[in-house]
Amino acid sequence: MSNHVRQFVVLLFAVTSVGLSGCTALLIGGAAAGGYMVANDDGSVGEFVDDTALTTSVKTRLISDKYVHGLRINVDSDRGIVTLRGEVNSFIERDRAIQIAESTKGVVRVDNELEVAAPKT
């Protein structure tokens, strides 16, 4: 990817991030990951932007759901394939997170790497 394209994508991501300033924690991690991906990915700018939008959409839906602890779930996407990682409290919460991701427009497949926490004694 050319240097000009990288700069454009980083600028586009930064401008978009300002509009979502209420999601500061999400954006700080996303900006760092996004910058790394731009520098190290062979995909097109369109794919990168689509994946960033998809990741943001899934993460926002997880955080907004009252049955899922979305802040404890890491969301990554690559060409429409969404990967969920992290720890959830129950199989019900895990299944709900998967359902939310699968029902998000643009998701081709969901790879579940969520771990169900051991019950506390």
Sorted by where each begins, the domain ranges of the chain are: 3-116
User: pLDDT digit string (tens) for 41-58?
Assistant: 566 656 666 889 999 999
* Global pTM exceeds 0.85: no
User: pLDDT digit string (tens) for 66-93?
Assistant: 999 999 999 999 999 999 999 999 999 9
Residue with tokens 């900006």: 31
Residue 18's CB: how many other CB atoms inside 10 A?
A: 8
Indicate the pairing of strand 73-78 with strand 81-88.
Answer: antiparallel
Backbone angles phi, psi at 98, to 5 degrees: -65, -45
CATH fold for the domain made of 3-116: Histidine-containing Protein; Chain: A; (3.30.1340)
